[in-house]
Amino acid sequence: MNIKITYNWLLDYLDTDATPDELRRYLSLCGPSIESVGKVGNDYVFDIEITSNRIDTASVIGVAQEAQAILPMFGKKAKLKLNPLANSKLDQIKTGSGFNLKVDIKNPNLVSRFTSLIFDQIKIGDSPKFIQDRLKLAGVKVINNVVDISNYLMITLGQPIHMFDYDKIADHHMIVRESKKGEKLVTLDEKEIVLPGGDIVIEDGSGKLIDLCGIMGGLNSAISSKTKRVLLFVQTYNKSKIRKTTMTTGQRTIAATFFEKGLDPERVEPTLVYGVELLEKYAQGKVGSKLYDIYPKKPGKKSLVMSYGLFSKKIGVEIPRKKINEILTNLGFGVSDASKQGLTLVEGQTLQITVPSWRTSDINIPEDIIEEVARVYGYQNIPSVLQPIVFVDQPKEMEDIFVFQNRIKIFLKHLGLNEVINYSMVSKSMIVDGGLKVEDHLRLSNSISEDIEYLRISLLPSLTKNMRENKGRREVLKIFEIAKVYIKDGPSISTDNLKINKVRPSLPDEIYKVGIATNTDYFDLKGIIEALYKELNIEDESRHSREGGNPDIIDKNGIFMVELDFKSLINNSALIPTYKPIHPYAVIKLDKTFELSPHTTYAVVRQKAFLSKLLQKIEVITLYQNKLTLRFYYSSPDRNITEEEAKEELALV
């Protein structure tokens, strides 16, 4: 998520001599990434990317805390001049009386902290100019003083809040509970939400729902121009509940993006303190109730024990202890000598770190502390050295996949073919057009387009599409693709070391195929295939056997295509062809013409001719209509054969 804050807003909390651009540069290197800084009027707007683990920095005070640690590393002054996180406590609020709220929390797991205060004598009007200006720069719509104050509080402190019209809450009674499936509620944006069930909601004394907690308030209890009394409502919720509700209802509000990440219940306190100040000052509100604070499980202090030595081991460079302590302290951590705390220590552990409340969810292991120190110290200050080179054996099976893919690709390229890479997913119509069965394909359950709904089991539908779409662009088109196809319920996957293939359902077999398509003619494609076999030194025998491919060339309205099994190509190939010793004996060449017919095909002639032990090779000389002239080469490696002998051999054909 991204947030926008301004430079002047930040200076309310931070005393620094860093310019807006220095802030951008230094914070981006060591902390939250400031994606842009833009001058508007006499202020500057920072657009800041907040990573999901650091929701505590999604606020003015959060950025100020980071700046306090980072800027001194670049020789800049930075000190928090106001530190509400450390200093604002609930006992600073002067409570009142006269108005009451009855609260029932049905399940304590829903709300980690429930607080609220009632304000009387509210005057709805415009908020002051500085609040309006800053909210506009932060990209928030200005509405009225009460609503603006709630947004201003959220951006300042990172704690979303809600304001109810107190008089619209029937019987001034709030029942916090889980929703039932199908319950309905109209939210502030006037959308009717049908609840999936299990969502955190508030029901008032009349039985109607008035809040979809952590997401958006109900329209029926909203602040209006006539509002006299306001219920300031500051809570922290069960993050998984909020997340589920925001995902299933599609209500992705700003509040939800905060609450779903889990907020620090301690931050409720500075938010309330500041909220009272702003409502009194800018909406003439008077606190008219006691403070409601239901906080069943206040988390204890979290701390970690580790050694200074671990920093240099994991970072790879020595950082002075003083520097480590300074960085951690500026980030709000407590640092002390563990040996003085009476702890049982593993040898070398001398450092005890207490984690500030707003970091308890993202700091769990020593590596998390190492990251804090390393990033603020500055990755740019860490040297760069390659790790020692060691030998790791590459499994032959994996090596073959890459070596052969590359050989085949480069060979086909040199024959003049163009390589294409298609999506692994195809459409239903491509499958049907290719004569394949839809039910043999794995289907994507959340496909974004029907063009890419099924995982392909053949490369040919994709190649057909390529050939059609390129029609007319070039007179001659010859393309190929080497890619996996995905065969449902495959038996076993050799690279699958999870050993789960026996269990159903199983992962598909991922099988590499070589697909070739041309718009020339049958024998052109056959020639390409034969050339490839020769390049891979695939012997004639396996070339003509079923296993070696003997591929079926498909003629689809002038598109000639073939799909070869990549693994068979690897298995039948040889690094060099079978060596035949050169011999000095005569080679007898004989030509013979055949009349081709379904019974006398080249393949039949070839098969018969090779029954002769003396035949070395056959060449096609000419084909005129159905008259095929072949040249036969006879010789023996041991002796000179006579023309008569050769003729006898040929006569057998």
Partner 1 sequence: MDSKKYESEINSAKTLAELGELEIKYLGRNGEINKLLSEIKNIPNEEKREYGQKVNLLKTSMYRYIEAKKKELQNQKSEVFFDKTLPGKAYPKGSLHIVSFAIEEITKVFEKIGFIRVSYPEVDWEYGAFESLNMPANHPARDDVETSFIDVPAHPKLGKMVLTPHTSNGQNREMKRVDKPPIRMINISKCYRPNWDTTHTPMFHQFEGLCVDRDINIVNLKGTLDYFAEKYFGVGTKTRLRPHHFQFTEPSFEVDISCNVCGGTSKINGNKCKVCKSGWLELGGTGMVHPNVLKEGGINPEKYSGWAFGFGIERVIMMKYGLDDIRNYYSGDIRFMEQF
C-alpha to C-alpha distances, 184 to 187, 211, 371, nearest whole angstrom? 10, 11, 45
Among residues 357 and 464, whose Cβ is nearest to partner 1?
464
The DSSP bridge pattern shows strands 173-178 and 102-105 to be: parallel
- Tell me which stretch binds partner 1 (CB under 8 A): 26-34, 225-233, 275-283, 585-593: 26-34
Min dist. Cβ of residue 639 to partner 1 (A) = 29
Distance CA 146, CA 38 (A): 28
Assess contact for 116 and 101: CB atoms under 8 A. yes
By CB under 8 A, what part of segment 104-133 binds partner 1?
A: none
By CB under 8 A, what part of segment 451-470 binds partner 1?
A: 452, 455, 462, 465-466, 469-470
CA atoms within 13 A on the CB side of 552: 4
Min dist. Cβ of residue 301 to partner 1 (A) = 22
Q: Which residues contact 576 (CB under 8 A, 6 or more apart)?
A: 537
Distance of alpha carbon 289 from the chain centroid: 48
Min dist. Cβ of residue 467 to partner 1 (A) = 9
Find residue 483's DSSP bridge partners.
513
Question: Using CB under 8 A, which of 33, 83, 109, 520 touches partner 1?
Answer: 33
Question: Using CB under 8 A, which of 484, 556, 592, 631 touches partner 1?
Answer: 484
By CB under 8 A, what part of segment 204-243 binds partner 1?
A: 240, 243
By CB under 8 A, what part of segment 302-361 binds partner 1?
A: 313-317
Among residues 401 and 587, whose Cβ is nearest to partner 1?
401
Distance CA 224, CA 165 (A): 8
Q: Around Cβ 403, how many Cβ atoms within 10 Å?
A: 12
Most distant CA atoms of the chain, gap in Å: 128
Examine residue 531 and tell whether it contacts partner 1 (CB under 8 A).
no
Min dist. Cβ of residue 414 to partner 1 (A) = 6
Min dist. Cβ of residue 480 to partner 1 (A) = 9
Distance CA 37, CA 173 (A): 46
Examine residue 244 and tell whether it contacts partner 1 (CB under 8 A).
yes
Examine residue 194 and tell whether it contacts partner 1 (CB under 8 A).
no
C-alpha to C-alpha distances, 621 to 277, 605, 629, nearest whole angstrom? 101, 14, 5
Examine residue 537 and tell whether it contacts partner 1 (CB under 8 A).
no
Question: Using CB under 8 A, which of 47, 433, 496, 535 touches partner 1?
Answer: 496
Examine residue 503 and tell whether it contacts partner 1 (CB under 8 A).
yes
Among residues 497 and 625, whose Cβ is nearest to partner 1?
497
- Name the residue with tokens 């190492």: 370
Among residues 162 and 456, whose Cβ is nearest to partner 1?
456
Q: Mapping DSSP to helix (H, G, I), strand (E, B) and coil, where does residue 279 land?
A: helix
Number of residues that bind partner 1 (CB under 8 A): 95
Min dist. Cβ of residue 209 to partner 1 (A) = 25
Examine residue 383 and tell whether it contacts partner 1 (CB under 8 A).
yes
Min dist. Cβ of residue 30 to partner 1 (A) = 6
Examine residue 391 and tell whether it contacts partner 1 (CB under 8 A).
yes
Please name the helix (run of DSSP H) or strand (run of DSSP E) that holds residue 330, with its range, or none: helix 321-330
Among residues 290 and 556, whose Cβ is nearest to partner 1?
556
Site string for partner 1, 415-454 (x = CB under 8 A): xxxxxxxxxxx----------------xxxxxxxx--x--
Examine residue 520 and tell whether it contacts partner 1 (CB under 8 A).
no
Among residues 502 and 599, whose Cβ is nearest to partner 1?
502
Residue at 480: amino acid letter: F
Site string for partner 1, 48-67 (x = CB under 8 A): ---xxxx-------------
Among residues 369 and 605, whose Cβ is nearest to partner 1?
369
Examine residue 394 and tell whether it contacts partner 1 (CB under 8 A).
yes
Among residues 131 and 374, whose Cβ is nearest to partner 1?
374
Distance CA 101, CA 202 (A): 13
- Name the residue with tokens 């909220």: 275
- Tell me which stretch binds partner 1 (CB under 8 A): 283-291, 337-345, 390-398, 642-650: 390-398
Nearest CA to 47 out of 63, 34, 64, 66 is that of 34
Among residues 240 and 329, whose Cβ is nearest to partner 1?
240
Distance CA 373, CA 379 (A): 10
Min dist. Cβ of residue 95 to partner 1 (A) = 36
Assess contact for 621 and 629: CB atoms under 8 A. yes
- Tell me which stretch binds partner 1 (CB under 8 A): 118-126, 286-294, 380-388, 550-558: 380-388
Examine residue 28 and tell whether it contacts partner 1 (CB under 8 A).
yes
By CB under 8 A, what part of segment 246-285 binds partner 1?
A: 260-261
Continuous H helices in 31-92: 60-70, 84-87
Min dist. Cβ of residue 52 to partner 1 (A) = 5
Residue 26 burial (10 A CB sphere; 0-12, 13-18, 19+): buried
Nearest CA to 122 out of 150, 103, 101 is that of 150
Distance CA 606, CA 618 (A): 8
Q: Roughly how many angstroms between the first and final C-alpha of the chain, as a whole number?
A: 79
Distance of alpha carbon 123 from the chain centroid: 48
By CB under 8 A, what part of segment 398-417 binds partner 1?
A: 398, 401-402, 406, 409-410, 412-417
Q: Mapping DSSP to helix (H, G, I), strand (E, B) and coil, where does residue 75 land?
A: coil
Among residues 23 and 455, whose Cβ is nearest to partner 1?
455
Among residues 82 and 452, whose Cβ is nearest to partner 1?
452
C-alpha to C-alpha distances, 352 to 10, 313, 320, 335, 365, nearest whole angstrom? 31, 18, 16, 6, 13
Min dist. Cβ of residue 329 to partner 1 (A) = 19
Min dist. Cβ of residue 312 to partner 1 (A) = 8
Residue at 354: amino acid letter: T
Min dist. Cβ of residue 510 to partner 1 (A) = 6
Distance CA 3, CA 59 (A): 8
- Name the residue with tokens 């205060």: 117
Distance of alpha carbon 586 from the chain centroid: 69
Min dist. Cβ of residue 398 to partner 1 (A) = 5
Min dist. Cβ of residue 455 to partner 1 (A) = 7
Among residues 398 and 623, whose Cβ is nearest to partner 1?
398
Residue 93 burial (10 A CB sphere; 0-12, 13-18, 19+): middle
- Tell me which stretch binds partner 1 (CB under 8 A): 88-96, 348-356, 494-502, 597-605: 494-502
Please name the helix (run of DSSP H) or strand (run of DSSP E) that holds residue 138, with its range, or none: none
Question: Using CB under 8 A, which of 31, 72, 275, 461 touches partner 1?
Answer: 31
